[in-house]
């Protein structure tokens, strides 16, 4: 399941990450030029140098002060003359300003060492601040976008993936492991897409006070509606729930007989009318039977119809109006990809479906429909049909899908 998409996606992400790094490396020279602020760091060092040498000027002032008390003890008039001499001698070092020149020379000699240190800092910044522009990102993403389209991923999901990657990569410092960052972002995006308001169907049925719980099944011809009805009945029986099947597909030849065979195998009750009867009337009778016999679930099997046939779609509106189902479920073939998504959109517009079940997922190598349908119609996927046996109805789990895709 999804092997084709898994392998191609792995290759595409690897190529995408490498090209992203290559495009970002071209910007290294541009990023390197403005990072020239390190000579400013030499100024505080000059101050430090002057501060260190200023005490040298203070030391000679302190020495004559110490001599004053010694000379005052010998003669009182003499210290005045010596003080003047000291004052005259004291200003002599002030005009002699060779020391600051020596300081300047020292500061000029020291910057080369600082420039070496600054050079290494500059290299570090160019490595960590490699960026990619939005224009280049769009060009690089195009190949990945084509891959997703080829594997039946909807435009809405592709745009979501693109925007999330753009937020993480464009005009931001690229990490050393770009591929890992892309995979992490994609995993987060797909988890969000696949984890849309999951429904615990078994608990929801058990928690309803006014039984029965009514489930209406919709979809186009050949999508696997009748088989899915039988699988759901088997699932409910395994969880201690009693069911009745409503054969509301009064249009397709042998549809009633097919559902009857399932009912016999499952040892459950079926309500049917003749072919050409009102589908809503069959469903209504099944609900009344369930109420009378205190059954838990009514499963309504409807006729398949193309979403473009307005008359048949109007008939579904009538059935929904009469039965007022607790759950309206769209059945779509996973292998039909974007067609399945478009069908779900149309059914959503007309009867406002509550959830979806995808059939034939076990032979779906592309996997675009499971990734797209939930996010596109904003309704959760309940189960995946993975075979013809009654037990082969797999509860939809986002983490399981991600593992199958290699995340």
Answer whether residue 83 shows pLDDT above 70: no
What sign does the dihedral 341-346-349-353 (CA atoms) show? negative
- Strand partners for 394: 384
pLDDT band at 234 (very low <50, low <70, confident <90, very high): very high
Q: What is the DSSP letter of 38?
A: G
- Report the pLDDT value the prediction gives residue 308, as an integer from 0 to 100: 64
pLDDT band at 129 (very low <50, low <70, confident <90, very high): low
pLDDT band at 272 (very low <50, low <70, confident <90, very high): very high
Answer whether residue 44 shows pLDDT above 90: no
Between the ranges 39-48, 51-60, 171-180, 193-202, where is the mean pLDDT highest?
A: 193-202
d(CA 390, CA 238): 11
Query: Which DSSP helix (H) or strand (E) runs through 248?
Result: strand 243-248
The candidate with the shortest Cα–Cα distance to 382, out of 403, 349, 359, 405, is: 359
**Between residues 282 and 31, the one the model is more confident about:** 282
- Report the pLDDT value the prediction gives residue 240, as an integer from 0 to 100: 95
Give the predicted TM-score (pTM) of the model: 0.71
Answer whether residue 137 shows pLDDT above 90: no
Answer whether residue 270 shows pLDDT above 80: yes
**What's the average model confidence in pLDDT over 333-347?**
88
Angle at 249 between CA 246 and CA 254, to 5 degrees: 105
The candidate with the shortest Cα–Cα distance to 186, out of 167, 205, 207, is: 167
Q: Which residues contact 359 (CB under 8 A, 6 or more apart)?
A: 223, 224, 227, 228, 331, 332, 333, 334, 384, 385
Lowest mean pLDDT, pick from 105-114, 167-176, 221-230, 331-340: 105-114
């Amino acid at each position: 399941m999804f092997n084709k998409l898994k392998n191609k996606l792995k290759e595409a992400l690897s190529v995408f990450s490498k090209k992203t790094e290559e495009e970002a490396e071209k910007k290294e020279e541009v990023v390197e030029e403005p990072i020239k602020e390190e000579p400013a760091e030499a100024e505080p060092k000059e101050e430090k140098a002057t501060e260190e040498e200023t005490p040298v000027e203070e030391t000679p002032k302190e020495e004559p002060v110490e001599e004053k008390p010694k000379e005052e003890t010998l003669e009182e008039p003499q210290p005045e003359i010596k003080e003047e001499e000291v004052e005259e001698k004291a200003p002599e070092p002030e005009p002699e300003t060779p020391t600051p020149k020596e300081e300047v020379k020292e500061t000029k000699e020291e910057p080369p060492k600082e420039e070496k240190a600054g050079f290494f800092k500059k290299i570090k910044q160019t490595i960590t601040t490699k960026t990619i522009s939005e224009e280049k990102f769009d060009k690089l993403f195009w190949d990945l976008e084509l891959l997703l389209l080829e594997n039946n991923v909807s435009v809405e999901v592709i745009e979501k993936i693109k925007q999330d990657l753009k937020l993480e990569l464009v005009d931001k410092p690229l990490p050393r492991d770009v591929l890992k960052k892309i995979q992490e972002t994609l995993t987060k995006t797909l988890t969000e897409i696949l984890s849309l308001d999951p429904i615990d169907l078994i608990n929801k049925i058990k928690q309803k006070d006014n039984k029965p719980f009514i489930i209406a099944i919709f979809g186009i011809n050949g999508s696997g509606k009748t088989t899915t009805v039988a699988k759901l009945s088997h699932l409910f029986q395994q969880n201690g729930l009693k069911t009745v099947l409503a054969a509301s597909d009064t249009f397709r030849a042998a549809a009633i007989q097919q559902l009857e065979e399932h009912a016999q195998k499952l040892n459950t009750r079926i309500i049917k009318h003749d072919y050409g009867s009102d589908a809503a009337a069959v469903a209504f009778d099944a609900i009344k039977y369930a109420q009378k016999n205190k059954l838990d679930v009514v499963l309504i099997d409807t006729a398949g119809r193309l979403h473009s046939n307005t008359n048949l779609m109007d008939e579904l509106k009538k059935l929904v109006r009469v039965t007022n189902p607790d759950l309206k479920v769209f059945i779509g073939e996973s292998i039909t990809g974007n067609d399945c998504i478009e069908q779900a959109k149309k059914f959503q517009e007309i009867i406002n479906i509550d959830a979806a079940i995808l059939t034939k997922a076990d032979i779906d190598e592309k996997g675009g429909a499971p990734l797209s349908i939930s996010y596109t119609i904003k309704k959760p996927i309940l189960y995946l049909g993975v075979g013809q046996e009654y037990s082969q109805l797999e509860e939809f789990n986002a983490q399981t899908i991600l593992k199958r895709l290699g995340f």
